Each structure stands twice: as C-alpha cells, then as structure tokens.
Amino acid sequence: MDLAHLRRSGDNDVGSCEGWTIEIERVAFVFAAKDWGKDLALFELLFGPPTFVDGHSWAQFDSGGSRLCLAGPDQGIDESAILLKVGDLDAASREFTGQHGEVGPLQIGEHEERVIARSTEGRQVVFYRPVVQ
C-alpha cells in the first residue's frame, strides 16, 4: 500500500488512497520487540515516556504527531508493521484479501480487535478497531 497517496479528509482522519475504499482513521507503525526491556528503554530515550503500556505486550509512544508502537512476542507481529485503525474491520479484511495479500483470523484483545495481514510483497499490515467498553 503506497501511503504517499493518502488524502487528508479531516483533522483526525487520514483518508483513503486511490483504489482503496476503506476509510483509514489513523496510521501508526509497530515494531516487534527483540528484547522487551532494552527496546522499551530505547523507545523511552528517543520519544519520552509511553502514552500507553500493557505489561510486556504493548507500548505506544505519541511523539511529533506520530504514533510508534512496540509489540511483545505475544502480539503475533514478527517484524515492523503498518498499523491501520479502521471503522469496518470486516470490510478492510475483505478488500485486502486476494489482490493485496492474505488476512489472518480475527484476534480479540482486551483493548482492540485486529487482524494481521501480509501483503503480496511480504509486509505485515495490522488492521484494528478499538473494543467498545
């Protein structure tokens, strides 16, 4: 997916790219932790304290208008990935499957529902939506 073609559609919306009909609400990047303690310390040095932490599973940092995340081994992310918040997870999964790549099963976490996809080029893409409490 070429993020250079994203169009802004509002203050909090990233928009959509040509040929992609699913509205993307937020773009972030996630990195798989190789050593949780060392990686967390590096991220804190670079970006300051995390804005959210969930044990050794997840940490997110909001800095400079961007969100970077660190994923623990239990998150199923084995490399860096594009993290896309979408309103319609089912529609995003259907649209991505086939021409763009393959989508894994729905995972329901404490804070979000997500699917981990792999593009035809081998990139991981995580589509998610927050769990409404």
What CATH number does the domain containing 110 carry?
Answer: 3.10.180.10
Count of structural domains, the chain: 1
Residue 1 has pLDDT above 80, yes or no: no
Look at residues 2, 68, 62, 112 and name the one whose alpha carbon lies nearest to residue 127: 112
Give me the phi and psi of 127, to 5 degrees please: -95, 135
Q: Is the predicted pLDDT of residue 62 greater than 80, yes or no?
A: yes
| Long-range contacts (CB closer than 8 Å, 24 or more residues apart) made by 40-48 | 40/70, 43/68, 43/70
pLDDT of residue 18: 53
Strand, helix or coil for residue 40:
helix
Cα 93 to Cα 14, 82, 99, 132: the distances in Å are 18, 14, 12, 20
pLDDT digits (tens, 9 = 90+) for 68-92: 999 999 888 888 999 999 999 999 9
53, two tokens: 């932490």
CB 94 within 8 A of CB 120: no
Q: Mean pLDDT score of the chain, rounded to an integer?
A: 85
- Give the pLDDT confidence of 3-24 residue by residue, as tens digits: 443 333 344 444 444 567 888 9
Range of the domain at 111: 3-130
Residue 27: band (very low, low, confident or very high) from pLDDT cuts 50, 70, 90: very high
pLDDT of residue 56: 94
